[in-house]
């Protein structure tokens, strides 16, 4: 997941207007932290709205990774059409720009069939991109990135952050001094375009986000308990076996898919680096940290309607 202070425009390359969903009054949004109960509420909402569900989950796109991503059940998916679930193998990287383009096609498909659209998921990076769009930033320049990375190694990351503060003070103020990836990206954008990365910071939210964006709220202690139980259920339901099968498939599990809490721990367990109890403990800790980041991001949606879960 991208750093909470970095806009989605800074995280990926350009995305044209044709590759972004055309939002309207037929669009609704349901989000919340992991384990808050979004899927079950979404089924009821979709039934009342006459809507298809478009998944806003950066890990649900991977087919074969089911247990650790807590995808909607087969019964839920049979009850309501779902989009953007099981679209690529775990070996592939999947960007926010690619998701936006796929979401645009899903929205068009829903409208052709006279269906409303219910966006459901807890990946705020995708939600922000949906709300704000992607700025026309240049693609990564590998040679320039290697040079900046070498400069960071030679002179220290603080020196690069200070340089960014000179050429783009707003970006430097919002990027942590230890965040090498985004410091380098900020300098890369300035050198490649002569425009500051911070030009992408000003959102232009669609008005529908002011009236139809719902967030599930749950007390912290209850959320912690739900997360701990969900992780225990994941390991009981076979996430270790699922991980082993994915590793043996062509391409294995790529670096993007490995970001999902549970899979890195299962890989370490399979390699003999940790035992089952430690894998569960680490996954619970990572999932709680994820929920905290999700809630931090979701609070930036000033007009969201918070619902008690």
Geometric angle at alpha carbon 222, from 289 and 122, rounded to 5°: 50
Same domain, 80 and 28: yes
Domain of 123, CATH number, reads 3.40.50.300
pLDDT of residue 135: 66
Residues in the chain: 309
Same domain, 56 and 164: no
In a domain, 1, yes or no: no
pLDDT of residue 11: 38
Task: From 59, 56, 84, select the one nearest 264 (Cα to Cα).
Answer: 59
pLDDT of residue 201: 59
pLDDT of residue 207: 81
In a domain, 2, yes or no: no
Count CB atoms within 10 A of the CB of residue 169.
12
pLDDT of residue 136: 66
Same domain, 77 and 132: yes
Strands (E), the chain: 27-31, 51-55, 82-83, 116-120, 213-217, 305-308
SS3 53: strand
pLDDT of residue 203: 54
Same domain, 208 and 69: yes
Same domain, 18 and 73: yes
pLDDT of residue 200: 63
Specify the pTM.
0.78
In a domain, 43, yes or no: yes
pLDDT of residue 184: 92
Same domain, 126 and 262: no
Same domain, 118 and 67: yes
Same domain, 129 and 153: no
In a domain, 3, yes or no: no
Task: Give the structural domain span for 55.
Answer: 8-136+202-217+296-308
Averaged over successive runs of 10 residues, the pLDDT of the chain (309 residues) comes to: 36 53 95 95 97 97 94 94 97 92 97 98 89 74 90 93 92 88 89 77 69 94 97 97 96 92 96 98 97 91 89
pLDDT of residue 220: 94
Same domain, 121 and 206: yes
Count CB atoms within 10 A of the CB of residue 135.
20
In a domain, 21, yes or no: yes
* Count of domains observed in the chain: 3
Domain of 242, CATH number, reads 1.10.287.890
Same domain, 122 and 206: yes
Same domain, 154 and 281: no
In a domain, 163, yes or no: yes
Domain of 184, CATH number, reads 1.10.20.140
Same domain, 170 and 129: no
pLDDT of residue 261: 93
């Amino acid at each position: 997941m991208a750093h909470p202070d970095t806009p989605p425009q800074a995280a990926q390359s350009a995305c044209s207007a044709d590759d972004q969903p055309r939002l309207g009054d037929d669009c609704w949004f349901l989000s919340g932290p992991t384990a808050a109960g979004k899927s079950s509420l979404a089924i009821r909402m979709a039934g009342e709205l006459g809507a298809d569900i478009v998944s806003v989950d950066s890990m649900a796109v991977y087919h074969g990774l089911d247990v650790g991503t807590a995808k909607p059940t087969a019964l839920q998916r049979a009850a309501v059409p779902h989009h953007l679930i099981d679209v690529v193998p775990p070996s592939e990287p999947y960007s926010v720009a690619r998701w936006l383009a796929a979401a645009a096609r899903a929205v068009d498909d829903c409208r052709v069939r006279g269906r409303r659209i219910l966006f459901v998921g807890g990946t705020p990076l995708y939600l922000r991109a949906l709300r704000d769009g992607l700025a026309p930033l240049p693609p990564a320049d590998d040679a320039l990135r290697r040079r900046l990375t070498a400069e960071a190694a030679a002179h220290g990351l603080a020196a690069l952050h200070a340089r960014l503060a000179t050429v783009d003070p707003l970006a430097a103020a919002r990027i942590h001094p230890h965040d090498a990836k985004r410091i380098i990206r900020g300098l890369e954008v300035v050198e490649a375009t002569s425009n500051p990365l911070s030009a992408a910071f000003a959102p232009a939210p669609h008005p529908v986000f002011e009236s139809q964006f719902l967030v599930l709220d749950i007390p912290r202690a209850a959320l912690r308990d739900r997360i701990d139980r969900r992780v225990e259920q994941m390991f009981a339901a076979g996430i270790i076996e699922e991980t082993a099968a994915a590793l043996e498939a062509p391409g294995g599990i790529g670096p993007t898919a490995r970001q999902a809490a549970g899979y890195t721990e299962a890989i370490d367990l399979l390699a003999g680096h940790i035992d089952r109890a430690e894998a569960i403990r680490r996954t619970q800790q990572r999932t709680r940290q994820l929920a905290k980041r999700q809630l931090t991001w979701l609070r930036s949606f000033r007009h969201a309607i918070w619902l008690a879960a």
